[in-house]
Structure 1
Amino acid sequence: MTKKIKHYFPGANTPDGFFNYFKYILPVEEANRIFCIKGGPGTGKSSFMKKVGEYYLEKGYEVEYHHCSSDNDSLDGVVIKELKVSLLDGTAPHVTDPVVPGVVDEVLNFGDCWNEELLKDHKDQIVDTQNYISNGFTRVYKYISAARSIYDDWKELNYKAINLDKVHQLQEDLKAKILPMPISHTGENRHLFATGFTPNGIVTYIKDIIFDCKDVYVLEGAPGTGKNEILQYLSQEALKRGLDIVSLHSPLVPEEIEHLVIPELSTAIVTSNALTNLEFEGTHFYMSDYMNQEILDKSQYKIVAASQDFYYILNKALGILTDCKENHDKLESYFIPSMNFDKVNDLFDYVINKCNQL
C-alpha cells in the first residue's frame, strides 16, 4: 500500500537571510547513507530526488520531501525513513559537504553530466543573471526584516493585554492532558519548518505533516497572545519526559515554534496564526479568551494599522521572490540543453542499487 508523503521546508527565507536546519533532515549519527548532490540550476537535482522518492514510496516506504523555500515546487532533500537514507541538494545557499565521507556520505556530481563548452557560450548571461538574483534576495531579506519589525509592534500591542496567569494555567492544563507521564531522560528535538515564504506566496505543509496525528490541539490567536510561550513550554516538558519531538519554526521569527509534533504520542499542538490562518480539526483554544478586552480596545486602531502594514510589506517581499524565481528559471534554461540526462539516469540506477543493499 502506497503511503502518504510528509512535506517540510528544511530552510527558510527569514528577516536575517537564509536560515537552514539541514542537519536535521537526517542526522549523520542516524544515517546509513547520505547522498550530497552537486550541480548547477536546471541539472535535474530536484527531479532526480523526486524519482528516488517515488520509487520507494511505491514500494511502501515512508518518504519525506524537503522543499526549497525559494521554489517550493522543487526539492532540497528526500528521506527514505526505514532505510535511513537521504539525498540532499548540496549547492548554495545551503552548501552541504560530506561529514563522514565514504562511511555515511557520498557525493553525486551532476557536473560530470554536462557539456562545459555549451555552458561557456552563455557565460556572460549566466553571471549577469546570477548577480541579478543575488541582489534580489538581498532586497527580499530587507523587506522581510521590515515586516518583522512591524510584526513585533503588533505583538507588543497584543501582549500588553494578555492575562499571563490564565495562559500559565492553560499551559499546565495542556501538560496534564498531553504529558501525564513522569520526567525521565531527555528526548531528541528535530528542528524544521512547515511554512515558508516562497515565490508562490506563503506556503505551509503543516496539514501534510500532521495527517496521521490522532490528537490535535489548536491554539488560535493573533501575534503576542501567548501561543509561542505555550509551545515552548510544552516542547521542553515533552523533552524532559524522554519524548522525541519535531519543532516546526516560524520563518518570520525563526527562534519561535509555529507548531509542535510529538510522534510517539501521535499528537500535534498547532497554531492558527497571522501567516497561515488555517482551519484545523481538533480541540481548539481561543487565545482571545485569555486577553483583557478593555486594554485591547484602547489599542485597536494601532493593532489594525500594524497588521495592515505588516501584510503590505510582506507581500512586497513575496513579489520580489517571484521575480527571483522567474530569473532562476532563465538561469536553468542555459543549463538544461547542456545536460546529458542519460548519465543522470545511470546515477539513479546506481543510487537505487546502493540503497537496496542496505
Structure 2
Amino acid sequence: MVERYVNLGDCYDRAGLQPLRQELMGCMKGYKACYQRAYRCLTAAAQIGEDLRSLLLTPALEAKMAKRARGILSREVKKGDGEAGRAVQRFLGGVTWKGVLCQFETVDTLCKRVYELADTYGLAHSMLTHLAAGALAAGHDVIVCPSPLFPDRMEHLLIPSLSLAFVSASPSLPYPKRPYRRIRLDAMADAELLRRNKARLKFSRKVSAALVEEAVDSLAQAKAMHDELEGLYNPHVDFDRVYQTAQAITDELTARL
C-alpha cells in the first residue's frame, strides 16, 4: 500500500475565506495553551495516582489479588483444547471536555456477566493481568482496556466469548448498573497502611480530582475555540466534495479486501 495525503483544503472556498483571515487567526489564540495546561494537569494527577498506588500495592496485596484471580478463573474460565487466545487493546474511556467518561454501555453490550472491581486507588491492574493471562491460556480472545492516564496499565478486561467482563469502578466513576459480582479491592489493602495514611490518601485524592477538573475545564475552553473556528469555516466548505472524496477512498479500500 502506498501512503498519500488527501488534500481536503481543495474543498474550501478560498475567496470566501480570505476576508475572514483575521477572525480565523483570532479564534485560535490561546488554543495550544489550553491543551498544554490540560496535559500538565493530567500529568500531575497521574503522578499523584502513582504515588497512592505504590503506597498500597504491597507484595501481600498482590498475593491476595493473584489468589482471588485464580479462584475466579477456576469458576468462570474453562480451558479449551485449541491455541492460545489473542489480545487486542481498546480504550474504553478518556478525559474529555465533558469530563472523565467511560463507555460502560459497550461492556454491557458485549458481556452479560460483569465483575465490578471497586478500586479507589488504581490497584486493579495486577488482578486484571492474572485474569487476562488465564483467559488467553484457555484459548479465549480478550479485549484489554488501558487506563487513559496510565496507558501501560490495564483498567478493564472484556472476554466476549464468555460474555464476561471485569471493570474498575471508583467513587468518581462508578459502574452504573448492578454487577454480577463486586470485589472490593480497597478492602484487600493493608488495613494498617490505610489507617496510618488516611489523611494523606484523602488529601492526595482531593488534589488529584482538582487537577483533573482543571484539565477538563481547559479542554472545554479549547473545544469552544474550535467550535467558533468551525462556525467561520463551515459556510465556505464544499461538503459534497468532501463526501465524494471519502466515498472514493472507501471504494478503493473495499476493492482491496
What is the TM-score normalised by the length of structure 1?
0.63
Give 1:236's match in structure 2, choosing from 130, 133, 150. Answer: 133
The match for 1:278 is 175
Q: How far, CA to CA, are the matches of 1:145 and 1:348 in structure 2?
A: 36
In 2, are the aligned partners of 1:161 and 1:293 still within 8 Å (CA)?
no
| Offset at residue 283 of structure 1 (A) | 1.2
Cα drift, residue 184 of structure 1: 4.9
Does residue 116 of the first structure (1) align with residue 14 of the second (2)? yes
Instruction: Work out whether residues 223 and 274 of structure 1, in 8 Å CA contact, stay in contact via their aligned partners in 2.
Output: no
Give the equivalent residue in structure 2 for 1:327: 225
The AA in structure 2 aligned to 1:333 is: G
2:128 is the alignment partner of 1:222: no
* 2:78 counterpart SS class: coil
Number of residue pairs the alignment of both structures matches: 255
Quote the residue 1:154 is aligned against: 52
Structure 1 match to 2:158? 261
Greater CA drift, 338-347 or 314-323: 338-347
1:247 is paired with a residue whose SS is strand
Point out the structure with max Rg over C-alpha: 2
Indicate the percent of aligned positions where both proteins have the same amino acid: 22
* Structure 2 residues not aligned, in runs of 5+: none
CA-atom RMSD in angstroms = 2.8
Alignment of 1:182-261 (within 5 A): 182=80, 184-224=82-122, 226-261=123-158
Unpaired stretches in structure 1, ≥5 consecutive residues: 1-99
Q: Kindly provide the amino acid, as one letter, of the partner of residue 147 in structure 1.
A: A
For residues 353 and 150 of structure 1, what CA distance do their matches in structure 2 show?
A: 48
Shift of 1:160: 4.8
Query: How does 1:1-358 map onto structure 2 within 5 Å?
Result: 100-101=1-2, 109-130=7-28, 132-160=30-58, 163-182=61-80, 184-224=82-122, 226-273=123-170, 275-280=172-177, 281-347=179-245
Question: SS of the counterpart of 1:254?
Answer: coil
Report the CA distance shift for 1:298/1:349 in structure 2 as closer, same or farther (over 3 A): closer
Structure-2 change in CA distance of 1:182 and 1:340 (3 Å): closer
Provide the rounded CA distance (Å) in 1 between the counterparts of 2:133 and 2:15.
55
Moved more, 126-135 or 167-176: 126-135
Deviation string for 1:71-99 (max 9, x for gaps)? xxxxxxxxxxxxxxxxxxxxxxxxxxxxx
Relative contact order (alpha carbons < 8 A, sep ≥ 6): 1 or 2 greater? 2
The CA distance in 1 between the partners of 2:169 and 2:76, in whole Å, is: 19
In structure 1, distance between residues paired with 2:217 and 2:143: 30
User: Normalising by structure 2, what TM-score?
Assistant: 0.85
**Higher helix share goes to which structure?**
2
C-alpha spacing 1:298/1:182, structure 2 compared with 1 (3 Å)? same
Equivalent-residue separation in structure 2 for 1:204 and 1:163 (angstroms): 26
Measured in 2, the distance between the counterparts of 1:297 and 1:154 equals: 14
Using the alignment, how far apart are the partners of 1:137 and 1:116 within structure 2?
28
Higher strand proportion: 1
